[in-house]
Structure 1
Amino acid sequence: MSTASTPAEVWRPHVTVACVVADGGRFLMVEEEVNGRPAWNQPAGHLEDGESLAAAALRETLEETGWTVQLQHLIGVHQWRSTEHGDAVVRFSFAARALSHDPQRALDTDIRRAVWLTRTEIAALGERLRSPTILQSIDLWLGGQRLPLEVLSHLPGGGKP
């Protein structure tokens, strides 16, 4: 228990977002460089201060792939401990529909390329997948899990809790 004069250390996980963007039997993936090694992920990244989860998912997908997408559903919320840095991660996975692509757009500096792969090709990447939540979110989507985006809310501003 903390007192007003000595604030307690508060544990905070990394909050991330990711998009499962499907086109027929293929999914949008990015090859990125992580700690000097290639790794594969869905378009994904960290929530920024003041940003809604939905806005973060749209921004990260555009920055990493050049694709503008429309969010359709929340697939799930995944909690795990990263083997990359050892910290806890809470990931919000969205289903999105591809709208348009800008092939001239510069991608984030750590992104090598964005490609469309089948679920089988993604599974074959094995240890090169950045997170176990990649296949988990694809499989949930393939299994029909769809949560309405309205389950999320964003209350901008600096009000008191």
Structure 2
Amino acid sequence: MRWTPHATVACIVEREGRFLLVEEMANGERVYNQPAGHLEEGETFIDAARREALEETGWIVEPEALLGLYTYYAPANGVTYHRFCFVARAIREVPNAKLDDGIIAAHWLTRDEIETLKPRLRSKLVTDCIDDYLRGTRYPLDVIQETA
């Protein structure tokens, strides 16, 4: 059997000191995560980030920078995830947007509020990515080379 990592995207969206997080059901538990999900066949990383944010939060966002590439092994399912995490700007909320199955709600939370949720975060990448963002980590989007 060949080992295959899962390619995912996520967005750090900050507005007035609050971060956009998703409350969702995963493996039968209520957890919190950045808007994130799997890259679909034929999709660019940036387009996937836009799509996942909209599908999970009802917000249209625009990626402005690459925060980083993260690798996470999930003990719960034995899967290794390669996450392309973007810094994105909130454009606007779509009224009555239909959210993906399993999504409970979108929340704007401060870093301190997120810290209190630590036992219920989907993975340690939630705080790792926010902390990298707060440290000022940014890479230009053109560091990603994608061919159509």
Aligned mate of 2:3, from 2, 11, 19? 11
Q: Which residue of 2 aligns with 1:27?
A: 19
Distance 1:127 1:53 in 2: 29
Which stretches in structure 2 are left out of the alignment for 5+ residues? none
One-letter amino acid matched to 1:60 = E
Residue aligning to 2:75: 83
Read off the aligned partner of 1:36 and give its amino acid letter: G
Partner secondary structure for residue 145 of structure 1: coil
Q: Please give the alpha-carbon distance, in whole angstroms, between the structure 1 residues aligned to 2:46 and 2:61.
A: 11
1:84 match: secondary structure: coil
Note the C-alpha offset of 1:88: 0.8
Residue 62 of structure 2 corresponds to residue 62 of structure 1: no
Give me the TM-score of the superposition, normalised by structure 1. 0.89
RMSD after superposition: 0.9
Q: 2:97 aligns with which of 100, 105, 108?
A: 105
Give me the identity figure in percent. Answer: 48
Q: Which residue of 2 aligns with 1:133?
A: 125
- How far apart, CA to CA, are the structure 1 residues paired with 2:42 and 2:17? 35
* Pairs aligned (count): 148
Per the normalisation by structure 2, the TM-score is 0.96
Aligned AA for 1:115?
H
Letter in 1 for 2:46: A
- One-letter amino acid matched to 2:5: P
Instruction: State how far apart, in whole Å, the 1-side matches of 2:4 and 2:41 are.
Output: 13
How far apart are the structure 2 equivalents of 1:83 and 1:139?
23
Alpha-carbon distance between aligned partners in 2 of 1:136 and 1:53, rounded to the nearest angstrom? 20
